[in-house]
Amino acid sequence: FQVASQVDARTILDGKGAETLIGRGDMLFTPPGTSKLVRAQGAFVSDEEVQDLVKFLKENNQPPVYAKEVQAQIDRAAKEDDEETEDEGVEGDLGDDDELYQKALDVLRSTKRASTSMLQRRLRIGYNRAARIMDKMEEKGIVGPDNGSSPREILTDLDSL
C-alpha cells in the first residue's frame, strides 16, 4: 500500500519507497535471504472480484470440517459469546443462590483480591458478566467501588458469606 511519507515507509518497511507506489498491484517486497526491498508488479484484484470469489466458494463448497478438538473450542467460544449477548440485554439478577456468583465469592476468598479481570480469568467469563458480578458485590457491600486498574477493596469478612 502507498503511504504518505518516507517516515511512514521507514516505520512500516524499515526502508523507503512505499511513498512512491502507484497502486493497482504495485508493491515492494523483501526476497528471502536479503534485506533489500524490491519493487514488483503483483496481480491486482478489485474488492468486487474478491467478493464474487468468496460468494462462489461459499455456494460451491461444503462447510469446513474441523478436528473435534478445534470444533469444541469454537463451540465453547460461540456459547460464551451467546451468553454474553443475552446478558447484555437483560437486567439479570445475580442472586446469592446463583452458582456463578458463589464461584466468584470463592475466587475472592482464595485470592483475597477483588477485580473484574481476575473473575474473567478464573471463571472464564466475558467482561460484561464479570463486571455485573462485581457491581452486585458492590451493591451488597462486599467490595468497594472501582479503583481504576487497582483491585477493589474487600469490605466484609468473606468467610461469613
Residues 57-70 pLDDT 10s: 999 998 878 788 88
- Rounded to whole angstroms, the Cα distance separating 37 from 43 reads 18
pLDDT band at 48 (very low <50, low <70, confident <90, very high): very high
**DSSP symbol at 19:** G
Nearest C-alpha neighbor of 22 from the set 6, 1, 43, 52: 1
Query: In which residue ranges of the chain is CATH 1.10.10.10 found?
Result: 93-160
* Residue 146 pLDDT greater than 70, yes or no: yes
Q: What percent of the chain has pLDDT over 90?
A: 22
* Residue 144 pLDDT greater than 80, yes or no: yes
Q: In Å, how far are 15, 24, 44, 103, 151 from 41, measured between CA atoms?
A: 18, 9, 9, 59, 54
Report helix, strand or coil for 33.
Answer: coil
Helix extents (H) in 21-67: 47-60
C-alpha cell at 97: 443462590
93-160 belongs to CATH 1.10.10.10: yes
pLDDT digits (tens, 9 = 90+) for 6-39: 887 777 777 788 888 888 888 888 888 888 888 8
Q: Report, as an integer, the average pLDDT of 89-117.
A: 77
